[in-house]
Amino acid sequence: MISYIEARRLVAETTAECAKLSPRRRERVALGAAAGRVLSQPLGADRDAPPFDRSTRDGYALRYSDIVNVPATLKLAGEIRAGEEFTGRIRVGECVQIMTGAAVPADVNAVVMIEHTTREGDAVTFQNSVKKGANIVPRGSEAGAGAEVVPAGRRLAAGEIAIAAQFGHAQVEVFARPRIAILTTGDELVGVGESPRRFEIRNSNALSLAAQVQQAGGEPVELGRAKDERYELRAKIEQGLDADALVLSGGVSMGKYDLVEEVLREVGAQFRFDAVAIRPGKPAVFGVCRGKPVLGLPGNPVSTIVTFELFGVPIVDVLSGAEARPLPLAKAKLGWELKLTAKLTHFLPARLTYGPEATAVPLPSQGSGDVAVLSGAACFIVVPETRLEHAVGDWVDVLLWRDRL
């Protein structure tokens, strides 16, 4: 049994090895539809940025040498608005009013903020001296024409999209979303729209996993459910291996009808681990079958969600053409005393309250099958096996839900 940190590393490294076996598909998409996609080609600058010496303040452009001794009064020679070109001349002893983002004329070399001036008609008095280049961003200082501005392998978010737009990339080439097959197992499962009998439960994992795959940047391929029967399970697994990766939930424990590991071995799977020192999620398994990553998760809903965040998201990241993202861990003060006994790293559903400091309060739960607890959880408190007792006010790690950040 290995730590979740080691297991996560193995998942990322093994998935990267699988990705090398077949070229990733690429496609061109409109920039406006590219959020969350991963670049397959770097983006370059089609011109200098800024394309001119740019003023960073509303104020007056002048020669800095004209106001070495202050107060100093200069004659106003005109005005420059953003998006306009100044065609006049600015002589010694003169200045020009300029707006933020406007182009600074070649005749001058500094901008003084309007707050440090007074004006009467065409006479502007300056109360502060400035250095050469003050409040001016030189042409090309942000990026030179032809420079790489966003590297390949970067996941596009608002910042990268802003950069791409500034340099004229109306379309971008990205890696296709990886197809992640989802197979749930168990005789007790029925469809979400069905009326379960007394000892049956609705198949929530199929939809929660599909949501997590989409949020991570993948395309879910829903295979439905397989009964705890070897022939049907094998047929569904064979179908799932047509996708880029296969994720299963249920059937990975030690029970008589937990057949997932056995059937995966029969079809050629080689496992990297078959237990992780965590609760919930201890029976999680991961391996490779026919060059495809295969992840087996416990069937209890909380276990499924936690283990996919730990081990499923890196699979989607790497198959998307990016590096595995770090876990979204933060610090919070504990709002309730904890005393745990099992020598495992625990992930406890919790709510967060915000004030001067974030506080995490564990939620009452009946265990990893308690799906109702998830509605109030904004995070999971991470209790390491090396320290199972915590007092109120102790700082603890919290694993944030990506869709609730």
For the chain, residues classed under CATH 3.40.980.10 are 4-25+180-319
Higher pLDDT: 244 or 374? It is: 244
First vs last Cα of the chain: how many Å apart?
31
CATH of domain 4-25+180-319: 3.40.980.10
Helix (H) or strand (E) holding 396: strand 395-400
Class of domain 31-51+142-175: alpha beta
- Portions of the chain given CATH number 2.170.190.11: 54-137
- Span 179-196, pLDDT tens digits: 999 999 887 777 787 787
CATH code that applies to domain 329-404: 2.40.340.10
**Portions of the chain given CATH number 3.90.105.10:** 31-51+142-175
Q: Where are the beta strands (DSSP E) in 200-340?
A: 201-202, 219-226, 245-249, 270-273, 278-279, 285-289, 292-297, 329-334, 338-339
Give per-residue pLDDT as tens, 291-338: 999 999 998 889 999 999 999 999 999 999 999 999 999 999 999 999
**CB of 31 closer than 8 Å to CB of 172:** yes
Residues above pLDDT 70, as percent of the chain: 97
Q: What is the CA radius of gyration of the chain?
A: 30
CATH 2.40.340.10 domain locations along the chain: 329-404
Q: What confidence tens digit (pLDDT) does each residue in 227-253 have?
A: 888 899 999 999 999 999 999 998 776
**Torsion angle (degrees, nearest 10) of CA 183, 185, 190, 196:** -150
Would you tell me which CATH number, out of the four given (3.50.30.10, 2.170.190.11, 1.10.1660.10, 3.40.50.300), belongs to the domain 54-137? Answer: 2.170.190.11
How confident is the model at residue 227, as a pLDDT? 86
For residue 13, is pLDDT > 60? yes
Strands 395-400 and 379-383: antiparallel
Distance CA 243, CA 240 (A): 6
8 A C-beta contact, residue 263 and residue 237: yes
Q: Which residues does residue 38 pair with via DSSP β-bridges, in sequence order?
A: 155
89 sits in the region (left: phi over 0; alpha: psi -120 to 50; else beta) called: beta
pLDDT of residue 257: 45
Q: Which range is most confident: 22-31, 47-56, 367-376?
A: 47-56
Residue 369 has pLDDT above 80, yes or no: no
Residue 108 pLDDT grade (very low, low, confident, very high; cuts 50, 70, 90): very high
How many Å separate Cα 295 from the centre of its chain? Answer: 21
| pLDDT for position 197 | 83
